[in-house]
A and B are shown apart, each in its own frame.
Chain A
Amino acid sequence: DTGVSQDPRHKITKRGQNVTFRCDPISEHNRLYWYRQTLGQGPEFLTYFQNEAQLEKSRLLSDRFSAERPKGSFSTLEIQRTEQGDSAMYLCASSLATGVYEQYFGPGTRLTVT
């Protein structure tokens, strides 16, 4: 399967700990997105990369959140000093840069902060 993969699928952490999630996009896709989804809500945009450049960040992405895509391939999303409000599903999506921007989503990482 050459779809978008995310690791881990589930993460339980204690408040105040740091967590890091990884996303591996489809190999030829140079656009990569991170979203956050809470229960009963649609995904909310967090940030966007084109190759290794982070071109857009949502105001939802507080200073405790940082995302990287160091070589334009996989991406990481780190949350420092986690809070209970960070509990959510974190989704990664990728797309081609040309044409209509159909996004392919990964299965998500479910974060629970206790």
Chain B
Amino acid sequence: DAKTTQPPSMDCAEGRAANLPCNHSTISGNEYVYWYRQIHSQGPQYIIHGLKNNETNEMASLIITEDRKSSTLILPHATLRDTAVYYCIVRVSGTYKYIFGTGTRLKVLA
């Protein structure tokens, strides 16, 4: 079954890049990888998604390995407001079921 694995926590200095890894070795060939974040007591917020190529938007960059078994979310200049739990998500192929995993708790330090 689809599964994602992330480190439980990371710290990052304010203004530095935060690199958040995710392992999704069971991902199917045509399924996207999605990243969301959740700030305490709020619903998750969409960040970025990708299939094979690296992606960038105003919030972050996503690097996906060539074999698609892992990816890294990059927040180029982390701020205190980026402190949150970050989830790497995949969909179970052939279903509408999305797997969140336990996420990485990122703490941005002043």
In the assembled complex, the Cα of A95 lies from the Cα of B42 at a distance in Å of: 18
> Nearest chain B CB to A15's CB is how many angstroms away?
25
A42-B100, A48-B97 as given contacts; A100 in contact with B32, CB under 8 Å: yes
Number of interface residues of A (CB under 8 A): 25
Interface membership of chain B positions 68-102, coded 1 if the CB is closer than 8 angstroms to chain A and 0 otherwise: 00000000000000000101000100011111111
Please tell me which one of the listed residues A42, A56, A58, A101 contacts residue B102 in the complex, with CB atoms under 8 A apart.
A42
Closest to A92 in B: B43
Q: Is the CB of B102 within 8 A of A41?
A: yes
A41-B102, A100-B32, A100-B49 as given contacts; A108 in contact with B43, CB under 8 Å: yes
A42-B87, A100-B32, A100-B49 as given contacts; A4 in contact with B99, CB under 8 Å: no
List of A residues within 8 angstroms of B42 by Cβ:
107-108
In the assembled complex, the Cα of A40 lies from the Cα of B96 at a distance in Å of: 24
Please tell me which one of the listed residues B44, B45, B46, B97 contacts residue A58 in the complex, with CB atoms under 8 A apart.
B97
Classify the secondary structure of B's interface with A.
loop
Number of interface residues of B (CB under 8 A): 21
List of B residues within 8 angstroms of A41 by Cβ:
102
**Can you list 18 residue pairs at the A/B interface with Cβ under 8 Å?**
A33-B98, A42-B87, A42-B100, A42-B101, A43-B100, A45-B98, A48-B97, A91-B44, A93-B44, A102-B34, A102-B46, A102-B49, A103-B46, A104-B46, A105-B43, A105-B44, A105-B45, A107-B43
